[in-house]
Amino acid sequence: MIKPSRLVALGVGLILSTIVAPHARAQYNLGSIKVASGSTLQPVFEGWEENADGTFSFWFGYLNRNWEEELNIPVGPDNNIEPGGPDLGQPEIFHTGEQKRRQMFAFNVVVPADWPNDRDLVWSVTSAGETLYAYASRLPVYMVDVNVISANRGSQRDVDPVNKNAAPVISEAPKDQTVAVGTPLMLEVSVTDDGLPIPTRLSENLDRQLRVSWLQWRGPGHVNFDPESVPVTDSAGELSRVGGTASTNATFDSPGTYVLLLYAEDVSHFSMQRVTVTVTDG
């Protein structure tokens, strides 16, 4: 039996093909109360999937309960994944705002093929004086697949109801970069895709069928992306569903080492890659 205290492990509003106990979601009733700052960060275990090589991916996300305060929690005692941590690739920057404070399937941790079904991988985060946990395990109730991930991060339910669409491939991304504070850094990404999903009436308003989106993952200061989400265009500058490039400018307000995360998305599926930038004081 799963203890009620461990139900924080499963996602906020996660759409699953399995049944989640009603009181599990009741804990995450956001209601109409909006807290600007001073509230907590909830790490979330979204579920696990089996990889082709027999290993398993444990998917995580988070909910920043603050509507205005962006949290920066360095990896260490206050931002720790165990066993094997504290650093297993989790974010240090936790975004806010209506569209970004809940990041679903934000990253995964790969565990070996012989990982026991009942062994937990635990992500703990301390904020506002409180430590909250996400308990990841291979219990069958937490199993997800590409369809579940797409239904939560994309629009598969509307435009791609049959799993026949491959995720975009990041064919070329910026290597490790160095730039001065306040100087815009151009980031260009090349993406290829299978052209799916094909636009339908339901997706006519989704004008960015294939796009690249950027998030700050780690770093001592703030990164401004102009813009954050960029449509992929071909060599003629036309929107493309089969591949091309997407460019944005990133500007950093403080020196230090930053990790950026890029997502190549085709509305339904996505691929991701990290880019490290060293920012000097100029």
Would you tell me how many other CB atoms lie within 10 Å of the CB of residue 147? 18
Domain residue spans of the chain: 4-153, 159-280
For residues 76 and 92, what is the distance between their CA atoms, to the nearest angstrom? Answer: 10
In three-state secondary structure terms, 201 is helix
φ and ψ at residue 203, rounded to 5 degrees = -110, 10
For residues 267 and 250, what is the distance between their CA atoms, to the nearest angstrom? Answer: 23
Length of the chain equals 282
Q: What's the pTM?
A: 0.83
Per-residue pLDDT of the chain (282 residues; tens, 9 = 90+): 334 344 444 554 554 443 333 333 333 444 457 899 999 999 999 999 999 999 999 999 999 999 999 999 999 999 999 999 999 999 999 999 988 999 999 999 999 999 998 899 999 999 999 999 999 999 999 999 888 888 787 665 555 555 678 889 999 999 999 999 999 999 999 999 998 877 665 444 545 679 999 999 999 999 999 999 999 999 999 999 899 999 999 999 999 999 999 999 988 889 999 999 999 997
pLDDT of residue 52: 93
Element (H, E) at 180: strand 177-180
Q: Tell me the CATH number for domain 159-280.
A: 2.60.40.10
pLDDT digits (tens, 9 = 90+) for 221-232: 999 999 999 999
Q: Are 67 and 74 in contact (CB under 8 A)?
A: no
Closest by CA position to 89, among listed 65, 112, 106:
106
For residues 76 and 88, what is the distance between their CA atoms, to the nearest angstrom? Answer: 11
Element (H, E) at 102: strand 102-111
For residues 45 and 59, what is the distance between their CA atoms, to the nearest angstrom? Answer: 6
In three-state secondary structure terms, 140 is helix
Residues with Cβ < 8 Å from 215, sequence gap 6 or more?
A: 93, 95, 100, 103, 228, 260, 261, 262, 263
Return the bridge partners of 50, or none: 56
pLDDT digits (tens, 9 = 90+) for 30-71: 445 789 999 999 999 999 999 999 999 999 999 999 999 999
Q: Are 15 and 47 in contact (CB under 8 A)?
A: no
pLDDT of residue 3: 40
Q: What's the sign of the alpha-carbon dihedral 278, 224, 260, 76?
A: positive
Amino acid at 37: S
For residues 267 and 159, what is the distance between their CA atoms, to the nearest angstrom? Answer: 8
Element (H, E) at 156: helix 156-159
